[in-house]
Amino acid sequence: MRVIIAVICYILLYLNRIDFKYQAIFSKTNQQYEKFSNVETMPTWDMIMSFFFGGNILFPSFTISDKHNMKGFHFKAIYMELYSSTFSYIFVAVLLLLAVWSYCKNFRNKWVQVIMISFFIDIIIHCLMRFGLHTSYIYGGHFVFVYPLLIGWLFYAYRSSPKYYFS
């Protein structure tokens, strides 16, 4: 009950701050969505692999271009390019395969569930809704820790399995 009251108070204070013009929220949100979702002409699957899943592990090359905001303000923009090597795509695919394997193997672990829920939320926001897909160097810190943790839990799940050594 306290949470609901706190949320209502927060909403009322925010609406009071913007003079109860809630339509401004939707128009501003739509402007931001258009700004961060319209990307160059690149295939979506390639952007997801190069930028979202692998962009913060194997950095693709960057391009700097001149931009302007139609009001006379000129600035430089930094963009990531798609991977140019097949090795990069294979590495990211193997990493994702290990992460999915770890999730399946450790499905009952509550910490794995917490990490994967937050990772799935990022996937929905950035891959399905395509919000900021081309700026993964900014938001990648939200989820880049998922890969080593899941691979570590995968190794931990197999800690008691027989070990074979090459001689």
pLDDT digits (tens, 9 = 90+) for 6-51: 889 888 888 887 777 777 766 665 555 555 555 556 788 888 888 8
Phi, psi of 74 (to 5 degrees): -100, 140
Residue 139 is predicted with a pLDDT of: 79
- Residues 56, 137 contacting (CB under 8 angstroms): yes
Closest of 101, 109, 60 to residue 80, by C-alpha: 60
pLDDT digits (tens, 9 = 90+) for 39-93: 556 788 888 888 888 888 887 777 777 777 667 777 777 777 788 888 989 999 9
Give me the DSSP letters along the chain: -HHHHHHHHHHHHHHHHTTT-THHHHHHHHHHHHHHH---S--HHHHIIIIIITTTTSPPPEEEEEEE-SSS-EEEEEEEPPP--HHHHHHHHHHHHHHHHHHHHTTT-HHHHHHHHHHHHHHIIIIIS-TTGGGHHHHGGGTTTHHHHHHHHHHHHTTTS------
Task: For residues 60 and 85, give the distance between their C-alpha atoms in angstroms, rounded to a whole number.
Answer: 10
